[in-house]
Amino acid sequence: MAENQPENAVWWKTSTVYQIYPRSFADTNGDGIGDVRGIIDRLGYLAHLGVDVLWLSPIYKSPQDDNGYDISDYQDIDPLFGTLADVDELITKAKEHNIRIIMDLVVNHSSDEHPWFVESRSSKDNPKRDWYIWRPAREDGSRPNNWSSFFSGSVWEWDEHTQEYFLHLFSKKQPDLNWENPELRRAVYDMMNWWLDRGVAGFRMDVINLISKVPGLPDGEQEPGHEFGNGFPLTANGPRLTEFLQEMHREVFAPRKEAFFTVGECPGIRAEYATEVTNPDNAMLDMVFQFEHVGIDQGNGKWDELPFDLLKLKESLGYWQTQLGEAGWNSLYWNNHDQPRIVSRWGNDTEYRELSAKLLGTVLHFHRGTPYVYQGEELGMTNFPFTDINQFQDLETLNHYREVVAHGGDTAAAMNGFRKFGRDNARTPMQWDGSVDAGFSKGTPWLAVNPNHEHINAAQQVGDPRSVFHYYRRLIALRKTDRVMAFGDFEMLLPSDSQVYAFTRTLGDEGLLVLANWSNEAIERTLEFARADMVTVMHNYEDAPAFDSALSLRPWEVVVYRW
């Protein structure tokens, strides 16, 4: 383990990060959209929960094509969310609660309405032409390559004015920045320094492993009958990524004395490279978000549902625990604004909602790494009961639906995929109380509130010591004081058991044993693990069973013991 770092550099190893999707958190001016003042108003709630860091999804100036992941000014706040003065106030007031703020850094692409792109597209000899990725058509007039965009269609958009295509891995309103250009990189580092000088504690870096494109942008593999090829495996983790991340570290983070941390979103990163990236000796990033475990129930593309298989989950998370055990550091998450709600996905969101929410929280938080809680996860919020395509707002969902319709595909199957995996499941408003619109807004929320807010809400749970909220409070508090939970070695037990998730954490002669029944049935097992000195640390049923190697667990029961 990387204990070679000074203690003050590792504050984030005993921290819990809370992700806020500002648009859906708390609306103070009745326009139906959450805002920065709404976050300020709820700092007391967040301090009570005990989180150390808030990651804010983008609040910068943006046309909101992808809810702010399309930025037109990196150094200003969109009036939808408030002002720079509001953010300064948030930073100051959060600090009074010992909470740090980190910003979402979206620099794989900008908005097409960013002045940089407006200039870049104005002429072929504009000084900023090379800040984006422009290519002529191929000899036969076709697009420069066959890649499909993450949000459907081609990655290439034709520009009439200059008669060239520009690259966009995401929507056509999100042109990719050209990291090969040193002036562009300089502008990004200046902007990052400006935010750090303002008092933010670091960044979550959006798709940062896509910034170094594969040279020559060759065609991707194309399945027969498919209109596009897959460029993603070619262009993720590109050849200059290490160099760019090290340069960024040198230009932005290395000269600073104050505490900060970085987490890079890295779809398609492998554990070997993630170890390199998060090894402090290599001066790149503190942590990455990897996607392996959240892909285990998706087959051919994200809409293709495979049955949940606990063995696959254990194999994946166990592997990352071991791989990043010595030198790197893991980030731990079930949820974010792109993923469906975890109790609906892998728990039981009906009969065992509270028990399974607590089990999921326990299993995740007792792994080694820094845990992330996505707004509402601490209440056991669920997916939304979508019945109609018109209830969705997310461009990923709507674009895919249009494509299915255009190809005469199966719209009912597509709807099932959206219900299961659609990003709007995570984006319905935070459920503050049981009143109309859940206390989120006095106006009409931009996305409907889940009808179950009448019984799943913060007001009810804050007042109930047995709630999911209070259970999360205990998990978050424990990480700050329990060195075994934060730093102990991880070992998976019962690796081929398809119902039980069991593991130990050990540090010196202390240890933790986590036993979780990930199923609707009571189970009995014999554990090859015996100690007389076991004390119960956490449990999700009222009465905690004393440790016994003849293990018997009720549905969705989890118990943690210490020796």
**In angstroms, what is the minimal distance from the CB of 111 to ligand ISL?**
10
Please state, in angstroms and rounded to a whole number, the distance separating the CA atoms of residues 496 and 155: 42
513 binds Ca ion (CB under 5 A): no
Helix crossing, 241-248 with 271-278: angle to 10°?
20
210 binds Ca ion (CB under 5 A): no
Task: State the residues that interact with ligand ISL by CB under 6 A.
Answer: 66, 69, 106, 150, 170, 206-207, 265, 267, 302, 337-338, 396, 423
**In angstroms, what is the minimal distance from the CB of 459 to Ca ion?**
20
**In angstroms, what is the minimal distance from the CB of 67 to Ca ion?**
14
Please state, in angstroms and rounded to a whole number, the distance separating the CA atoms of residues 345 and 420: 7
Residue 44 tokens, joined: 């007391």
Could you say which of ligand ISL, Ca ion, none residue 338 binds, taking C-beta under 5 to 8 angstroms by partner kind? ligand ISL
Please state, in angstroms and rounded to a whole number, the distance separating the CA atoms of residues 278 and 282: 8
For residue 97, give the H/E element and its range: none
Q: Which is nearer to ligand ISL, 236 or 284 (CB)?
A: 236
The residue to which tokens 């060759």 are assigned: 218
Could you say which of ligand ISL, Ca ion, none residue 89 binds, taking C-beta under 5 to 8 angstroms by partner kind? none
**In angstroms, what is the minimal distance from the CB of 433 to Ca ion?**
18
The catalytically annotated residue of 65, 112, 265, 394 is 265
52 binds Ca ion (CB under 5 A): no
Could you say which of ligand ISL, Ca ion, none residue 27 binds, taking C-beta under 5 to 8 angstroms by partner kind? Ca ion
206 as an active site residue: the answer is yes
Report helix, strand or coil for 359. helix
397 close to 403: Cβ distance less than 8 angstroms:
no
Q: Which is nearer to ligand ISL, 336 or 348 (CB)?
A: 336
Could you say which of Ca ion, ligand ISL, none residue 267 binds, taking C-beta under 5 to 8 angstroms by partner kind? ligand ISL
86 binds Ca ion (CB under 5 A): no
Q: Which of 17, 20, 26, 33 binds Ca ion (CB under 5 A)?
A: 33
Helix (H), strand (E), coil (C) string for 316-372: HHHHHHHHCCCCCCCEECCCCCCCCCHHHHCCCCCCCHHHHHHHHHHHHHCCCCEEE
Please state, in angstroms and rounded to a whole number, the distance separating the CA atoms of residues 80 and 379: 27
432 close to 26: Cβ distance less than 8 angstroms:
yes
DSSP state of 250: I
Half-sphere exposure for 454 (CA within 13 Å, toward CB): 3
**In angstroms, what is the minimal distance from the CB of 34 to Ca ion?**
6
265 as an active site residue: the answer is yes
17 bridge partner residues: 53, 372
Please state, in angstroms and rounded to a whole number, the distance separating the CA atoms of residues 502 and 363: 9
Centre a 10 Å sphere on the Cβ of residue 226 and count the other Cβ atoms it contains.
Answer: 11
31 binds Ca ion (CB under 5 A): yes
Backbone dihedral angles phi then psi of residue 294, each to the nearest 5 degrees: -85, 5
Q: How far is CA 267 from the centre of its chain?
A: 11
Q: Which is nearer to ligand ISL, 396 or 437 (CB)?
A: 396
Please state, in angstroms and rounded to a whole number, the distance separating the CA atoms of residues 398 and 395: 5
29 binds Ca ion (CB under 5 A): yes
Q: Which is nearer to ligand ISL, 78 or 265 (CB)?
A: 265
Computed over its alpha carbons, how large is the radius of gyration of the chain? Answer: 24
Please state, in angstroms and rounded to a whole number, the distance separating the CA atoms of residues 304 and 306: 7
Burial 473-486 (b: 16+ CB within 10 A, else e): bebbebbeebebbb
Could you say which of Ca ion, ligand ISL, none residue 55 binds, taking C-beta under 5 to 8 angstroms by partner kind? none
- Among the listed ranges 11-19, 30-38, 251-259, 464-472, the one in contact with Ca ion (CB under 5 A) is 30-38
Please state, in angstroms and rounded to a whole number, the distance separating the CA atoms of residues 122 and 138: 22
27 binds Ca ion (CB under 5 A): yes
Could you say which of ligand ISL, Ca ion, none residue 159 binds, taking C-beta under 5 to 8 angstroms by partner kind? none
**In angstroms, what is the minimal distance from the CB of 235 to ligand ISL?**
13
Report helix, strand or coil for 120. helix
Please state, in angstroms and rounded to a whole number, the distance separating the CA atoms of residues 348 and 360: 10
35 binds Ca ion (CB under 5 A): yes
Please state, in angstroms and rounded to a whole number, the distance separating the CA atoms of residues 435 and 399: 33
Could you say which of ligand ISL, Ca ion, none residue 207 binds, taking C-beta under 5 to 8 angstroms by partner kind? ligand ISL
- Among the listed ranges 23-31, 106-114, 312-320, 454-462, the one in contact with Ca ion (CB under 5 A) is 23-31
**In angstroms, what is the minimal distance from the CB of 541 to ligand ISL?**
35
Burial 417-456 (b: 16+ CB within 10 A, else e): bbbbbbbbbbbbbbbbbeeebbbbbeeebbbbbbebbeeb
Could you say which of Ca ion, ligand ISL, none residue 37 binds, taking C-beta under 5 to 8 angstroms by partner kind? none
Q: Which is nearer to ligand ISL, 71 or 94 (CB)?
A: 71
Residue type, 292: E
Please state, in angstroms and rounded to a whole number, the distance separating the CA atoms of residues 295 and 306: 10
Could you say which of ligand ISL, Ca ion, none residue 73 binds, taking C-beta under 5 to 8 angstroms by partner kind? none
Could you say which of ligand ISL, Ca ion, none residue 157 binds, taking C-beta under 5 to 8 angstroms by partner kind? none
- Among the listed ranges 19-27, 153-161, 210-218, 510-518, the one in contact with Ca ion (CB under 5 A) is 19-27
**In angstroms, what is the minimal distance from the CB of 240 to Ca ion?**
40
**In angstroms, what is the minimal distance from the CB of 291 to ligand ISL?**
7
Q: Which is nearer to Ca ion, 29 or 83 (CB)?
A: 29
The catalytically annotated residue of 52, 86, 104, 206 is 206
Q: Which is nearer to ligand ISL, 264 or 555 (CB)?
A: 264
Q: Which is nearer to ligand ISL, 265 or 377 (CB)?
A: 265
Please work out the total of residues on this chain that contact Ca ion, with binding judged by CB under 5 A: 5
Q: Which is nearer to ligand ISL, 2 or 207 (CB)?
A: 207
**In angstroms, what is the minimal distance from the CB of 427 to ligand ISL?**
10
Residue type, 49: L
- Interface residues with Ca ion (CB under 5 A) are 27, 29, 31, 33, 35
Active site residues per annotation: 206, 265
